[in-house]
Every structure is written in C-alpha cells, then in structure tokens.
C-alpha cells in the first residue's frame, strides 16, 4: 500500500482532490473489465439474511439484489449489517459517513443506503482512483438519488484529514476503515484522526481478525491497541469463525487467514477514548505520505 501510494498514486494529477464521475461508465455492462479490476473470489455478501429487522436495511438488501453487476465484496453480510446498525443508532449526531478503502463498493453501497433516509453525506476515500469510480458507479446503480450527496476523494486517510476534515468545522463523521491492513499504515491512518478528533464520532475497522504472510504485517487489531490501549472499549463487528473452519487456514491470496473466534471488526467510539498515540507535540504532516520516484 505505501509503495503504491508513494510511487504510483501520488503521481496522478488527481491525488488529494475530489474526482468527477466518469460518464462513460454509466452504460458499461462489464464495468470491472472496463476498469481493469479482476474478480478473484467472487464473494457476494447476502444482505437478505438480515431482512425483517430494520426497514431501511431491508431496502438496502433489496436494492443490492436488484443491481445486475459483476463484483466481489470484502466483508461478510454480518459486518455490513453491524456497521449499518452503528450508523442507524448514531445518525442523529452525524453529518457524514466516510468509507476508506472502497474496493468494489460493498460497504459504500450499504452506507449509501443510509444517506437519504438519515439525512447524511457520504465520502468515498481510496488511493486507487479506479476503485473509486467502480464503487461510485455501483452506488449510482443501487441508490441513484443518493449520488448527489456522494463524493470521491482520491487519497489516503491522512491526506483526506489534512485536505477535507480539518477544513470543515461543522462535520461530525463516522469513519469506516477497510483500507490498508498492515500495522504501520493503520497506525498512520488512525493517528491522522487525532488531528480532527473533534469532528469524528467514531471509527469502524474491518479485518481486525486478519493474518497472513509476515511481509504484509496484517495486524489491524494490534494497531488499534497501540493507539487506544489494550483495554480500549469497542463494539465487536461482523462474523466470528470457529476453529478448524476453512477460513482459519492460509489461502492462496498472500496466505491470508482469519483468527478463530475473533470478531471481524471493531467499532471504537471517540467519546471518552484515551489516545496513547500520537504525542500531543506531533503534527499531522508527520503522518502524510511522502512522494517517491515513479514506479518503473
């Protein structure tokens, strides 16, 4: 993630800005092929498993089923429902949802379903502009009337904090983080939120149960504890998998696997959280990416 940002993404002219939607994508039948996004696992989260619990979520599940689009989701249906439940419970104190690491729009489309009925805005944040365009188009096809309240920011989370959150004093945001999963980058991402903490209600993180090959340093949960202490109060999100289930064994994608009997995600409310890092004398600029020579 860091090398891609420094040597590729930061060299694009749109880095650190809001993107305009590509009108050529509206009629694309094979959207992923047009954008050059491979579909590896083909996993679709079945949101209808949670129908009957909340009328707004019922609408999200129904609309998601109706969209004829090839994609794969990053999260379980349980995770999407639990994040929705956090938003639904807290929406009276929120103005904006921020989806960091959108990939093919699984969480983005769920959050977009909250925009109209709850009177919120949605910012999509990703270092990869292609993923932003795919996610936004998936949102448009699922909730077309919500798109006027949806923006695409090309950048990482620290850059979004520096360029957007710190400049918008009236914002009260709930952040969904499913971007980089390596320890160092997650620490940088969460550290950046310290500098806009008065504008953030809480952060929901995915893949806190993820492990894999050591070179990828997939320790999201350890980053949370480093930031807020080992006794941090959080709400468990998503699925838990029993010992011996297939997903607790390393797979063909970077040897990834899930810790058994461990929640998929965490929701950390910022009300009363104790920051163990960064130090109050540090500056946001220390956590921003540094541009490197272009790849290749």
**Is 294 a domain residue?**
no
**120 in any annotated domain:** yes
pLDDT tens-place string over residues 220-270: 999 999 999 999 999 999 999 999 999 999 998 899 999 999 999 999 999
Tens of pLDDT, residues 157-195: 999 999 999 999 899 999 999 999 999 999 999 999 999
Q: Say how many CA atoms lie within 13 Å of 180 toward its Cβ.
A: 23
Q: What is the mean pLDDT of residues 203-209?
A: 98
Q: How far is CA 132 from CA 14, 28, 72, 96, in A?
A: 12, 16, 15, 18
Confidence of residue 1 (pLDDT cuts 50, 70, 90): very low
293 is a domain residue: no
Torsional class of 148: left (φ above 0), alpha (ψ -120 to 50), beta (otherwise): alpha
226: containing domain: 1-287
Q: Residue 296 domain-assigned?
A: no
Which whole-number Å values give the CA distances from 39 to 34, 126, 132, 269, in the listed order? 12, 18, 16, 34
**CATH of residue 253:** 3.40.50.150
Q: Give 77-132 pLDDT, tens digit per residue.
A: 999 999 999 999 999 999 999 999 999 999 999 999 999 999 999 999 999 999 99
pLDDT at 116: 96
> pTM of whole model > 0.95?
yes
Q: How many distinct structural domains can be found in the chain?
A: 1
Higher-confidence residue: 2 or 172?
Answer: 172
Tell me whether residue 256 is in a domain. Answer: yes
Rounded (to 5) percent helix, strand, coil in the chain:
45, 15, 40
Residue 226's nearest CA partner among 279, 179, 277 is 277
Q: Which two tokens stand for residue 47?
A: 């949101």
d(CA 275, CA 124): 26
Contact 121, 96 (CB under 8 A): yes
Would you say residue 272 lies in a domain? yes
């Amino acid at each position: 993630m860091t090398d891609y940002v420094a040597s590729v993404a930061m060299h694009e002219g749109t880095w650190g800005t809001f993107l305009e939607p590509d009108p050529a994508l509206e009629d694309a039948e094979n959207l992923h092929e047009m954008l050059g996004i491979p579909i590896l696992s083909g996993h679709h989260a079945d949101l209808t498993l949670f129908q009957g619990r909340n009328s707004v979520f019922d609408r999200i599940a129904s609309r998601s089923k109706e969209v004829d689009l090839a994609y794969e989701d990053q999260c379980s249906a349980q995770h999407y429902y639990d994040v929705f439940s956090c938003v639904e419970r807290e929406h009276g104190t929120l103005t904006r949802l921020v989806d960091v690491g959108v990939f093919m729009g699984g969480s983005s489309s769920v959050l977009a379903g909250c925009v109209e009925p709850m009177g919120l805005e949605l910012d999509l944040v990703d270092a990869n502009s292609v993923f932003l365009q795919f996610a936004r188009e998936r949102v448009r096809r699922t909730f077309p009337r919500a798109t006027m309240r949806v923006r695409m920011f090309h950048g990482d989370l620290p850059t979004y904090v520096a360029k957007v959150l710190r400049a918008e004093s009236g914002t009260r945001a709930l952040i969904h983080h499913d971007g980089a999963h390596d320890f160092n980058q997650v620490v940088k991402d969460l550290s950046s939120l310290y500098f806009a903490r008065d504008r953030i209600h809480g952060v929901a993180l995915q893949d806190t149960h993820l492990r894999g090959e050591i070179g990828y340093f997939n320790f999201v949960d350890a980053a949370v504890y480093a930031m807020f202490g080992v006794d941090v109060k959080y709400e468990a999100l998503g699925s838990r998998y029993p010992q011996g289930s297939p997903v607790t064994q390393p797979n063909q994608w970077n040897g990834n696997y899930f810790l058994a009997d461990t929640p998929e995600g965490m929701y950390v409310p910022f009300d009363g959280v104790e920051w163990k890092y960064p130090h109050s004398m540090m500056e946001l600029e220390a956590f921003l990416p540094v541009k490197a020579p272009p790849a290749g």
